[in-house]
């Protein structure tokens, strides 16, 4: 009995990539509508199938399209924006600030179109994305004819598409409802990572994914720092933490999984978690090498992803498959580890399963969607061909194949590229638009990098406004008279504190930028023990020119904010030209003196060893108020038994400067 098909592809080397790695040569594939009708020997299919159209594949490899298991497609527009940086500086210092400024529906649409063109050209038919405005990623992807799991990001910070996470959740829910039955798009939700999400976000997103039975996409254990921080904060590594929050009740796609142990691998397996291995990104950001062989041995579905094009910097799955095999061999010291057929399976079948859509795509099998590609295996860089071992074909593709060897791409029964010509996207038009975005982003960054304050604002580091102070600071030989005077009747002590302060001052080539101070405050309780630690970042503008009689100074502007990143982060982000360290023991009083509130600091500067200093400060708002307070400051200094002609110094920093 003959069956009817729309298209019969003949004269191909068919790699089905099914569980048995069945291979037909010469093979054929019959397509009806959006699906594969039959796969087999050419002679068998030609005999039993009546096709409207027959296409001779000219001896090329016909295989399932590749599955890019983890990416952020709109970031094609940020490719090459900032490189050779540590993950936190790269992400918090560059990517997120630029994204907050530029990412819009239009940005996402254009970035997705650029990515789709690149992906189709390199033989990818399906990808798992995680970004903002995911609805527009989905629209552009569907219009380009590609298949994708599109995951709407939810995180604890304000995002380009949402003021807060509650709003992102509403967006995610609506997106899932709108797209749940689409033939090409599988909608999904993406809590970004444990370090960018609260427990509440992780639980709510898992519940949402379970409610609609859609995948949940998340970054897991990408860096050692992430795991270390999670241990410090929650007393356990990332996987058990997520398990405790019931995240694995959802169909999870976990990107990275670089720093996980055997127990965590078992947990992932138990909960059918799909894993996306991202070798280029992990290498480029020096995140480490994921235990891929162990995960595969445990039976996990480990696919391969490029991660975003801003951290790779391309979407080339041939390169990723090759790296996957090489890294596994190099890191285990075993050249037989992760052979070529397995790498190709990860790039196709296992990737589709990791995305929880293995029933739709990833292999050439009757009933699955017609997502397939033709690869030329006879160019100069891939010749000659040996035939004694069929594994040679897989090795040709994985070890010597290039993205440019892909000639034809079909998704869901429709051609997206034929003989090297894209059919659904206009590359020339997209490139012009992309370079216009690059021009605007360049301008934004050039402007930002000129000012320490704007860099601080860009990372959300200056939430408090500018404030001015009247301050006077004098060196002391003996602190006792001050302590005695503080017990006097002319002033009232409102509050007192004792702490150790460890300050790191960053200074810059341009002195008008001021100083950036990273301060670690250790609060010392009555028992002389550290009771609390606080980290703060202050941008101290250059000293104002106003000075008052007796060298009382209307001080610099200052922006103060909690320091949420490490000292190392700020160092790498701000790139100071000089760095100075000052450690001191500080007794601090808030007092009322003649009806005005002052801070009195009695400091013992231990590093460098500069001795005692008395500092008197009050906040001010206007020039007039400053003049009044300056005169009071002078009186207070005198009252605190300090010689009226004591030199008033401006700041430790300046003292340091003169001592060098």
Contact residues: Zn ion, CB under 5 A:
307
Residue 505: closest CA among 563, 430, 417, 580 = 580
* CB closer to Zn ion, 100 vs 448: 100
Strand partners, 29: 9, 39
- What number of residues does the chain have? 660
* CB closer to Zn ion, 39 vs 130: 130
* CB closer to Zn ion, 51 vs 202: 202
Q: Least Å distance between CB 77 and Zn ion?
A: 16
* CB closer to Zn ion, 307 vs 405: 307
* CB closer to Zn ion, 131 vs 241: 131
Provide the pairing of β-strand 3-15 with 23-32: antiparallel
Query: Angle at CA 402, nearest 5°, toward 56 and 430?
Result: 90
Q: Least Å distance between CB 422 and Zn ion?
A: 26
**What is the signed CA dihedral for 445, 451, 456, 457, rounded to 10 degrees?**
-70
For residues 437 and 162, give the distance between their C-alpha atoms in angstroms, rounded to a whole number.
22
Q: Least Å distance between CB 249 and Zn ion?
A: 22
CA distances from 115 to 68, 127, 360 (A): 11, 10, 22
For residues 650 and 616, give the distance between their C-alpha atoms in angstroms, rounded to a whole number.
12
Q: Where are the beta strands (DSSP E) in 283-426?
A: 302-304, 372-375, 406-411, 414-418, 421-422
* CB closer to Zn ion, 307 vs 603: 307
Q: Least Å distance between CB 305 and Zn ion?
A: 8
The token pair that represents 554 in the structure block: 């209307």
Residue 576: closest CA among 502, 519, 651, 516 = 516
Q: Least Å distance between CB 180 and Zn ion?
A: 24
Q: How many CB atoms lie within 10 A of CB 414?
A: 14
For residues 321 and 312, give the distance between their C-alpha atoms in angstroms, rounded to a whole number.
14
Query: Angle at CA 641, nearest 5°, toward 636 and 644?
Result: 70
Q: Least Å distance between CB 259 and Zn ion?
A: 15
Q: Least Å distance between CB 70 and Zn ion?
A: 6
Provide the pairing of β-strand 66-71 with 124-131: parallel
Q: Least Å distance between CB 525 and Zn ion?
A: 44
* CB closer to Zn ion, 125 vs 312: 312
Strand partners, 427: none
* CB closer to Zn ion, 60 vs 259: 259
Q: Least Å distance between CB 72 and Zn ion?
A: 6
Return the SS3 of 312: coil
- Determine the residue with CB nearest Zn ion: 307
Return the SS3 of 409: strand
Residue pair 348/63 in contact by the 8 Å Cβ criterion: yes
* CB closer to Zn ion, 317 vs 539: 317
Q: Least Å distance between CB 503 and Zn ion?
A: 36
Name residue, tokens 């939430």: 463
* CB closer to Zn ion, 225 vs 646: 225
**What is the signed CA dihedral for 610, 612, 616, 617, rounded to 10 degrees?**
40
């Amino acid at each position: 009995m003959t069956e009817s098909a729309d298209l019969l592809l003949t004269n191909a080397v068919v790699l089905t990539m099914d569980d048995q790695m069945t291979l037909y040569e010469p093979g054929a594939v019959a397509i009806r509508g959006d699906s594969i009708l039959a796969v087999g020997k050419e002679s068998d299919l030609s005999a039993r199938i009546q096709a409207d159209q027959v296409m001779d594949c000219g001896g090329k490899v016909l295989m399932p399209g590749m599955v890019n298991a983890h990416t952020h497609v709109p970031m094609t527009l940020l490719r090459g924006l900032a490189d050779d940086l540590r993950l936190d500086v790269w992400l918090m210092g560059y990517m997120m600030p630029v994204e907050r400024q530029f990412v819009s529906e239009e940005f996402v649409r254009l970035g997705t179109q650029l990515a789709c063109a690149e992906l189709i050209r390199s033989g990818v038919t399906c990808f798992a994305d995680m970004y903002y405005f995911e609805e527009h990623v989905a629209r552009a992807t569907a219009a380009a004819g590609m298949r994708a799991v599109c995951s709407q990001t939810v995180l604890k910070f304000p995002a380009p598409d949402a003021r807060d996470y509650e709003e992102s959740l509403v967006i995610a829910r609506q997106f899932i409802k709108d797209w749940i039955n689409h033939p090409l798009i599988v909608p999904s939700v993406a809590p970004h990572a444990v370090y960018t999400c609260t427990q509440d976000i992780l639980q709510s997103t898992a519940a949402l994914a379970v409610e609609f039975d859609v995948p949940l996409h998340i970054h897991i254990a990408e860096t050692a720092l992430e795991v270390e921080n999670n241990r410090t904060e929650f007393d356990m590594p990332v996987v058990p933490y997520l398990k405790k929050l019931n995240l694995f009740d959802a169909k999870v796609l976990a990107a990275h999984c670089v720093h996980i142990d055997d127990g965590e691998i078992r947990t992932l397996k138990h909960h059918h978690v799909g894993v996306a291995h991202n070798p280029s990104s992990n290498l480029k950001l020096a995140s480490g090498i994921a235990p891929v062989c162990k995960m595969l041995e445990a039976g996990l579905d480990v696919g391969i992803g490029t991660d975003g094009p801003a951290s790779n910097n391309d979407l080339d799955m041939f390169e990723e498959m090759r790296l996957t095999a090489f890294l596994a061999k190099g890191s285990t010291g075993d050249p037989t580890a992760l052979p070529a057929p397995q790498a190709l399976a990860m790039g196709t079948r296992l990737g589709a399963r990791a995305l929880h859509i293995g029933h739709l795509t990833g292999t050439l099998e009757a009933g699955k969607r017609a997502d397939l590609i033709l690869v030329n295996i006879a160019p100069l860089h891939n010749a000659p061909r040996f035939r004694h071992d069929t594994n040679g074909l897989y090795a040709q593709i994985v070890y010597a194949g290039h993205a440019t060897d892909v000639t034809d791409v079909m998704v869901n029964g429709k051609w997206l590229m034929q003989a090297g010509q894209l059919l659904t996207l206009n590359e020339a038009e997209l490139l012009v638009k992309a370079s216009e975005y690059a021009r605007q982003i360049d301008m934004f960054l050039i402007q930002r990098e000129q000012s320490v304050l704007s860099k601080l604002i860009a990372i959300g580091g200056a939430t408090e406004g500018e404030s001015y102070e009247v301050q006077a600071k004098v060196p002391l030989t003996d602190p006792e008279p001050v302590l005695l005077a503080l017990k006097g009747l002319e002033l009232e002590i409102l509050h007192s504190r004792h702490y150790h302060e460890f300050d790191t001052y960053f200074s810059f080539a341009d002195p008008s930028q001021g100083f950036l101070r990273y301060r670690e405050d250790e609060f010392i309780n009555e028992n002389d023990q550290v009771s609390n630690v606080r980290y703060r970042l202050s941008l101290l503008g250059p000293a104002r020119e106003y000075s008052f009689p007796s060298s009382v100074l209307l001080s610099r502007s200052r922006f103060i904010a909690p320091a949420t990143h490490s000292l190392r982060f700020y160092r790498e982000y701000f790139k100071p030209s000089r760095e100075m360290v000052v450690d001191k023991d500080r007794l601090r009083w808030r007092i009322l003196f003649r009806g005005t509130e002052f801070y009195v600091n009695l400091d013992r500067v231990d590093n460098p060893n500069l001795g005692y200093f008395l500092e008197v400060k009050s906040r001010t708002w206007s020039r007039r108020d400053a003049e009044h307070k300056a005169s009071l400051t002078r009186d207070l200094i005198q009252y605190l038994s300090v010689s009226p002609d004591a030199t008033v110094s401006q700041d430790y920093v300046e003292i340091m400067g003169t001592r060098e």
